[in-house]
Structure 1
């Protein structure tokens, strides 16, 4: 792979664009290609085998497009498929996991909430991480049922979204959590709505910044950072409608291209 090739990023839909934003902020000169597999969203309700097969399909597509590194911007795909991807492909692959460790280390209430998909919460990797860092901590795990389809539709703050968030956060508020870990890359888009519902003392954390830092570290260690100084190509492909992706990326509209593509 050449150092001026793009960073490849994929997610089960539009949510991983929250990770893309962090990567682009930290590495503004890097070319990027983002795949939104919205046709198959959400991954969280699928079997481990289905998730792995979809992750292989997306990886193959990004490699065909010349990606020099691949970021799995999906918690469900990371926790279920990353071991297989790393075994099968000779390219750096960065994953995303719920930020359980920092929440567990920083909680003073000894009570944290985790909002994630069923596919993430039921994975072996998630269970191992949780066991490792939360021995003396009360952990309230909630499946964010119904959230991804609403975000995929661009419905971030309608009554249906607010109602669902109130339902999902109720057990966390009852357990006096002081940290809420977002375990799905779609969920950063609903942080304002969560903040309006949760008590002021609850800190919300996601993994986007950590993933961006890890991507930069790996590229630096391999001497693979782009060395051209021209404007980067920022390409987004979705296999469903483009409206939601364009809406979520509206602040970048001058620089990016969003296209519908079968993959």
Structure 2
């Protein structure tokens, strides 16, 4: 048993969608969440910048005593996780678009992927698509501007709806029956996406799979918590604590500003 916290970092509030799945699957685990909103979006940065930011976040979480780190950002995973795993002596859980289940479930043979430039241009994304979806057509769409709107608290705004409509209509017209969300910010858009997508299109994100994998790795390495009392969750942001609190609505957790 190991009562040290799980660390989670993302380029802002997107990883809260992952944190909620982790809390549901692992209710006894303490967590520390870093929202690097000051540097969002990662998807528009160069690979070297993404790696440097991922190292910075990792080292801060290690200083806070984390036993495992979830890289709750698709772009950081695709650009940095191999280096992190080779450099630091704890397990890392990465995020990648859930292409495999979408490909297996598709009857039309066409799957849409909405992701950042950093994810869509990565070697990991292309190898995943090649290995698991070579028999279907993958329609890629860069979600330019969506992360910025979410980070401004505009996940349900009309300007966000207009951008979503612009991005998904060509994929829908092409006949997709699954839409893979390739950025952890994008599950915050699911209410709007469901209104704009036909019923036949299933939305796929990776949150539940990440939580299951985190449980497996903790169990494998004998790192599961033995805590009986209520778990402790700490949230830090380097930009706007009120925004992060907005995405934790209904939750009684304190969000602190931290200059990192």
CA-CA distance at 1:252 after TM superposition: 1.2
* 8 Å contact from structure 1 (residues 140, 171) kept in 2: no
Q: Which moved more, 1:15-24 or 1:128-137?
A: 128-137
With the length of structure 1 as denominator, give the TM-score of the two structures. 0.97
User: What residue in structure 2 maps to residue 128 of structure 1?
Assistant: 127
Q: Deviation digits for residues 208-259 of structure 1, max 9, x if unmatched?
A: 0000001011111111111121111100000001112101101212xx2210
Consecutive aligned runs of 4 or more in structure 1 exceeding 4 Å deviation: none
CA-CA distance at 1:57 after TM superposition: 0.4
CA-CA distance at 1:136 after TM superposition: 2.2
Give the match's secondary structure for 1:62: helix
Q: Does 1:259 align with 2:249?
A: no
* 8 Å contact from structure 1 (residues 41, 149) kept in 2: yes
Distance 1:81 1:249 in 2: 27
Structure 2: where are the runs of 5+ without partners? Answer: none
CA-CA distance at 1:66 after TM superposition: 0.3
Distance 1:52 1:232 in 2: 31
Structure 1: where are the runs of 5+ without partners? Answer: none
User: What residue in structure 1 maps to residue 183 of structure 2?
Assistant: 184
Q: How many residues align structurally?
A: 260
Distance 2:187 2:16 in 1: 10
User: What residue in structure 1 maps to residue 170 of structure 2?
Assistant: 171
Give the match's secondary structure for 1:34: strand
User: What residue in structure 1 maps to residue 13 of structure 2?
Assistant: 14
Listed as ranges, the matches of 1:42-81 within 5 Å are 42-81=41-80
User: What residue in structure 2 maps to residue 241 of structure 1?
Assistant: 240
CA-CA distance at 1:155 after TM superposition: 0.5
Distance 1:175 1:93 in 2: 37
* 8 Å contact from structure 1 (residues 109, 178) kept in 2: yes
Listed as ranges, the matches of 1:88-237 within 5 Å are 88-237=87-236
Distance 2:2 2:36 in 1: 26
Distance 1:211 1:135 in 2: 23
Question: How well do the aligned residues superpose, as a CA RMSD in angstroms?
Answer: 0.8
